[in-house]
A = this chain, B = another copy of it.
């Protein structure tokens, strides 16, 4: 056998990583096979030795983007006091850095409206990504807060609502022309999201 065992798998992973970047900064329609392969240091002809179609690549790259964004958004959060973690997470998500670097960030906000017109497979992938991010929020929640909630179903509702606000706020902040207004959107959603998550504690009898 020519080439070492993992060689082809490594290349495949490089293509996926390249696509995960380009997808988030250029969108699905804007991400051509040739561009992806070039960005991975290859020529476009070799693409179909790794994937059956562009759709296959988009699926794999979207999943990779979700994992990548999750890693970056939670990185180093263990070092922060439990009570403050969620606020930090929200602050990172709705930050100017995140807004200005879509290729490193959340693919839900970057590809949401494009994927809402996707096929069954794409929408399933999107759903998996959303569930993963919501359950990530879950894990960031300090024990005290979890206890303050009446049930996990109520948590899930709240997290979904907060996640919607975060995804929507980031997307709107990117789509808006005026930078001041864009900053304003980030600030407004950041505050409201934190407030919304902390309210059960304030209203309850913990502490």
Contacts and interface: CB of A to CB of B under 8 A. Distances in A.
Contact of A164 (B111, B156, B160, B189): B189
Contact of A167 (B117, B156, B171): B171
Each complex incorporates copies of this chain amounting to 2
The contact size tier of chain A is 35 or more
A contact patch SS: helix
Interface in A56-102: 102
Contacts of A175: 108, 112-113, 115-116, 118, 123, 126-127, 130
A120 B179 CA distance: 12
Contacts of A123: 175-177
Which 8 residue pairs are nearest across A and B when measured between Cβ atoms? A168-B168, A161-B192, A116-B174, A29-B29, A164-B169, A164-B168, A123-B177, A165-B165
Interface of A: 25-27, 29-30, 102, 108-118, 120, 123-124, 126-127, 130-131, 156-158, 160-169, 171-172, 174-178, 181, 184-185, 187-189, 191-193, 196, 199
